Amino acid sequence: MSTVLEHSAAVGTDAPVGRVGHLPYAYFEGQIVPLAEARVSVATHALQYGTGAFGGIRGYRSHDGRAVHLFRLQDHYRRFLHSAKLLRISLPLDLDGLCALSAELTRRNGHLGEVYLRPFMYKAGVDLTPGLDGIPDGFTLFMLAIDGLPPLDHGLSVMVSSWQRVTDNAIPPRGKIGGSYVNASLIRDEAKEHGFDDAIVLNARGKAGEGSVSNLMMVRDGTLVTPPVSGDILEGIDRRRSWSSHAISVSRSWSARSTGPSCTWPTSCSCAARWPRCSPSSRSTDCRSGTGRRDG
């Protein structure tokens, strides 16, 4: 909780809520500018090869309605800095600087409602040769108002995807690397085409990994189980935090024990009693129905 409160932005104006859309200001090339001015060339390396990585941070309006609390900001930026190492990107700001910038941009955008912050690092060169070393780096931060998102209280229907999760020694899924979200997009589209809300994707060893853009937990025979970080998953902020707080209290209400991370065969998903999923930045929900397979 202290992390949240340390990174609140008191917001002056009470801009209209109830909408989803981009907010007017972004950070680009070292300064805060109107979003329309934050532009890159079509030849940009990251656009051509997916050599960028992003974060997804939510902010909530405070109880007294006078500030926006940025949720687990430091945790998100710690992971962001790890992604920078994977892509050999040198960022212009350190952890404290990234947090301070996020609070500043939130103030500047002045939206006193629910927000989503999208920091993005990228290979900014226009040299059309794959590679990472020696290519200039870029960093930007922009924001969306997301008051209008539908609540996740109805549970989700999921299938087991026919796609496989990218592996750690292909494109490391522990970072939010742009190119690897082609994998997430294929998984998500297939699920929608088959009439499901989302899918559980298996890793190369055939073990359940995560949802298209969410971590996975399940209650099976009274035990709370989640795939391990070695299972080709994103090291979700909520997954880690939830393990010791939210998920445990949820599991108590189901009389479940927690065993910690363990490898999970897909058939065990079919046999699970409940599945709380941890999805982007603290939106957790249950999977309400099966895996699209008849083996459970």
Could you say which of 8, 215, 264, 291 contacts ligand PLP (CB under 6 A)? Answer: 215
234 near ligand PLP, judged by CB under 6 A: yes
Catalytic residue check, 207: no
Between 109 and 279, name the residue whose CB sits nearer to ligand PLP: 279
CA distance 57 to 121: 14
209 near ligand PLP, judged by CB under 6 A: no
Judged by CB under 6 A, the number of residues near ligand PLP is 15
Residues 6+ apart with CB under 8 A from 44: 122, 123, 124, 125, 126, 138
Between 112 and 250, name the residue whose CB sits nearer to ligand PLP: 250
Residue nearest to ligand PLP (CB): 236
Could you say which of 86, 213, 229, 263 contacts ligand PLP (CB under 6 A)? Answer: 213
**End-to-end alpha carbon distance in the chain:** 39
197 near ligand PLP, judged by CB under 6 A: no
Between 135 and 234, name the residue whose CB sits nearer to ligand PLP: 234
Could you say which of 200, 210, 217, 231 contacts ligand PLP (CB under 6 A)? Answer: 210
236 near ligand PLP, judged by CB under 6 A: yes
264-283: which residues touch ligand PLP (CB under 6 A)?
Answer: 278-281
How near is the Cβ of 81 to ligand PLP at its closest, in Å?
A: 14
Which of these segments, 12-20, 186-194, 207-215, 251-259, binds ligand PLP (CB under 6 A)? 207-215
The burial class, CB within 10 Å (0-12 / 13-18 / 19+), for 150 is exposed
201 near ligand PLP, judged by CB under 6 A: no
Number of residues in the chain: 296
Between 129 and 262, name the residue whose CB sits nearer to ligand PLP: 262
Residues 6+ apart with CB under 8 A from 6: 73
Catalytically annotated residue among 85, 123, 176, 192: 176
How near is the Cβ of 36 to ligand PLP at its closest, in Å?
A: 26
Between 13 and 245, name the residue whose CB sits nearer to ligand PLP: 245
Contact footprint for ligand PLP (CB under 6 A): 56, 184, 210, 213-215, 234, 236-239, 278-281
- Residues serving a catalytic function are 176
